[in-house]
Amino acid sequence: MMKAFRRHARRERAASLVEVPVPVPGKNQVLLKVSHCGICGSDLHAWLNHPGYESVLPEVTFGHELSGSVVSTGPDAGDWKEGDRAVMIALQASHDPNDRYCAEGLPQLSPRRRVQGLHLDGGMAEYVCVEQEFLLPIPDGLDLQLAALTEPLSVAEHCIANRSSVGPGDRVVVSGPGIIGMFCALSARSRGAEVILTGTEQDETTRLSAARTIGFETLLVGHGHPPLHEQITAYFPDGADALVEASGSAHALADSWQSVRPDGVVTAVALYSRTIDFDLTQFLRKQIDLRTSYASSRPDYLRAFDLLSQGAVDLAALTRTYPLAEAGQAFADSENLQVMKALLACSD
């Protein structure tokens, strides 16, 4: 038997630590002993049974941001062998050359995609079975705890490298200092951009102070503060080359055109809980390229490995690690913005 943090009903906060059988790897599958598993914003939404998460199974073990070591393999599980270290690709669409999104290297957009940890059992457990094509070997020298951040960092890499046209010397605003915003800022900085992170009063204690610890300029926006576009002129007099909206605030996206220079880029990487009323003509008159960025694919994970291996991510400043037994507390702390990124240590 093993411990797993499992949802047991389609209700708010209906998840707990339970004892379940250790899964047995089937054809194409690998059994991993989970080292660490992160709590993602989507895990929080699923845990809180928010609208938009109806597809999450009523009974499922959460967790898609995991690292671990191979314990055993089923038939046809490729070259994987005991002791190999791996991370899991979270959004999974088995390769099909007739699927145009596979052919274009964007399997995360395939209508066949699923998320392990929402649509089948995930990694907030001592062990997890993963189909071998969705595993990536962790580079030598990168530790398992840090490697558990590969998935969220890959989402930022996709946003910055593929969807935001950020290059050396660019002036970038990242709106929203959650972990995806923070990782987008790190990814942009690694490309030689000058980056400013923005957040609200409620972000100040944990998130914006963490951003300053790792060397970012921060600005406060929202009630009682001047609008972002007024504050930004002190740093970027002509406006930002790119603005990445990672907060999920409808206002922040609607007003973004004011802080971006003509012919600049706005990329939305957050999920918005309501429809957004915005004045497209204002974007048009500045010919701002308004884009979205969703999830990530294999090459983004590989670049995330590189960033982690280079020491770009300060684990102590950005994460707090909880034993798997305290998963409920880790979810509550994440909900209350007490922690940037909660990691569960699953095999102590």
Nearer to Zn ion, 40 or 339 (CB): 40
Q: Of the two residues 37 and 240, which places its CB atom closer to Zn ion in the complex?
A: 37
The least distance separating Zn ion from the CB of residue 42, rounded to whole angstroms, comes to 5
Nearer to Zn ion, 40 or 60 (CB): 40
Nearer to Zn ion, 171 or 303 (CB): 303
Question: Smallest distance, Å, CB 86 to Zn ion?
Answer: 17
**Alpha carbons 51 and 71: distance in angstroms, whole number:** 37
CA distance 59 to 6: 7
CA 17, CA 213: separation in Å to the nearest integer? 34
Closer by beta carbon to Zn ion, 36 or else 171: 36
Nearest distance from C-beta of residue 28 to Zn ion, angstroms: 23
Task: For Zn ion, give the closer residue by CB, 40 or 87.
Answer: 40
How many Cβ atoms are within 10 Å of 245's Cβ, its own excluded? 28
Q: Closest distance between Zn ion and the C-beta of residue 155, in Å? A: 7
Block residue for tokens 């974007």 = 283
* 266 contributes a contact to Zn ion by CB under 5 A: no
- Nearest approach in angstroms of CB 193 to Zn ion is 24
Q: How many angstroms from the chain centroid is the CA of residue 108?
A: 14
Stretch that binds Zn ion, among 40-48, 181-189, 198-206, 302-310 (CB under 5 A): 40-48
Q: Enter the DSSP assignment of 325.
A: G
Amino acid symbol at 87: V
Choose one: 22-30, 38-46, 66-74, 266-274; the region binding Zn ion (CB under 5 A): 38-46
Q: For Zn ion, which residue has the nearest CB?
A: 40
- Asked if 253 and 276 touch (Cβ cutoff 8 Å), the reply is yes
Query: Which of the residues 109 through 138 are near Zn ion (CB under 5 A)?
Result: none
Convert residues 224-263 into a mask of x (bound to Zn ion by CB under 5 A) and - (unbound): ----------------------------------------
Stretch of residues binding Zn ion (CB under 5 A), selected from 15-23, 34-42, 228-236, 325-333: 34-42
Q: CB atoms < 10 A from the CB of 180, how many?
A: 25
Q: What's the min distance (Å) between Cβ of 115 and Zn ion? A: 8
Compute the least distance from the CB of residue 159 to Zn ion, in Å.
13
Contacts of 307 (CB under 8 A, 6+ apart): 153, 157, 186, 187, 190, 313
Q: What's the CA gap between 36 and 50, in Å, rounded?
A: 25
Residues that contact Zn ion, how many (by CB under 5 A): 1
Stretch that binds Zn ion, among 39-47, 211-219, 248-256, 279-287 (CB under 5 A): 39-47
CA distance 142 to 134: 19
**CB-wise, 40 or 195, nearer to Zn ion?**
40
For residue 40, state whether it binds Zn ion (rule: CB under 5 A): yes
Given a contact cutoff of 8 angstroms between Cβ atoms, the answer to whether 117 and 64 are in contact is yes
CA distance 140 to 40: 26
Closest CA to 289 of 248, 255, 250, 261: 261
Question: Tokens 């605003």 appear where?
Answer: 173
| Per-residue b or e along 77-105, where b marks 16 or more CB atoms closer than 10 Å to that residue's CB | beebeeebbbbbbbbbbeeeeebebbeee
With binding defined as CB under 5 A, does residue 156 bind Zn ion?
no
Instruction: Choose one: 23-31, 35-43, 79-87, 174-182; the region binding Zn ion (CB under 5 A).
Output: 35-43
Closest distance of CB 233 from Zn ion, Å: 35
Residues that bind Zn ion (CB under 5 A): 40
